[in-house]
Amino acid sequence: MFAVLKTGGKQYKVQSGDVLRVEKLAADAGEKVQFNEILMLGGDKPVIGAPLVEGAAVQAEVVDQVKGDKVIKFVKRRRKHGSKRTVGHRQQLTLLRVTEILEKGGEKSGVKAAVGAGSVASVASAAAEAKAPAKKAKANAEAPKKAAPKKAAKADQGGDDLKKLSGVGPALEKKLNDAGITTYAQIAAWTEADIADMDEKLSFKGRIEREGWVDQAKELAKG
């Protein structure tokens, strides 16, 4: 029996015992995780999802957190003030061993769901809030009107319209603001390491280099 699962925007055909590498998951070596996005179950009686197979799941054990082969990218812009840049990147991956394919009852198994590493911050935040609900409720009760003015003040104090950058809309601007990026000067100062870190942290998948945000930010920062 085999299953076709979806994770990290890719599809994988797996059988029990298979070892595969997927985009990094928020899990440690030795942990057991479960994939719930199952597109198809194969065997004597194949089942095709619409789009997912209800109740089906694939369980796997995390073997290790690894890195893929190094990829070298050369970027050259043919402009009046063109630029050239060479960037190396190694994709962070999770090595898994498939342990079981469930045709039904996946939602009741109790095994930790396989979550992309890009969601680690939100998972950690949710865990922290669950540990101290009383403290959070007390803070909200004591100063219910202070949070909104503080957020508005942050937007007014030197924040730039990041939507002027190529390919940046309201959703991407919010992602950047949530990560503490609010001005052109911050983006203009990014190093290659910063770009790689932001690509991975915010799942931009090379958008920063592809759209030329750093060069654009430098021009916009000049006013």
**113-136 pLDDT, tens digit each:** 999 876 544 355 446 556 656 566
Q: What's the predicted TM-score (pTM) here?
A: 0.51
β 19-23/92-102 pair status: antiparallel
Distance between CA atoms of residues 39 and 5, nearest Å: 6
What per-residue confidence (pLDDT) applies to 173?
Answer: 87
Angle among Cα 175, 35, 50 to the nearest 5 degrees reads: 90
Collapsing DSSP to helix, strand or coil, 174 comes out as: helix
Pick from 102, 93, 72: nearest CA to 209: 72
H/E stretch holding 60: strand 57-67
User: Span 148-221: which CATH code?
Assistant: 1.10.150
Collapsing DSSP to helix, strand or coil, 216 comes out as: helix
Q: Which two tokens stand for residue 63?
A: 């073997």
Domain boundaries, the chain: 2-119, 148-221
What per-residue confidence (pLDDT) applies to 125?
Answer: 43
Q: What residues in the chain have per-residue pLDDT under 50?
A: 120-122, 125-126, 147-156
Q: For residue 124, what are the contacts with CB-CB under 8 A and spacing of at least 6? A: none
What per-residue confidence (pLDDT) applies to 56?
Answer: 94
Find tokens 């970027």 and name the residue: 75
What per-residue confidence (pLDDT) applies to 168?
Answer: 86
**202-220 pLDDT, tens digit each:** 887 788 888 888 888 888 8
Q: Which two tokens stand for residue 172?
A: 């991407």
Instruction: Characterise 14 by phi-psi region: left (phi > 0), alpha (psi -120 to 50), beta (else).
Output: beta
What per-residue confidence (pLDDT) applies to 47?
Answer: 93
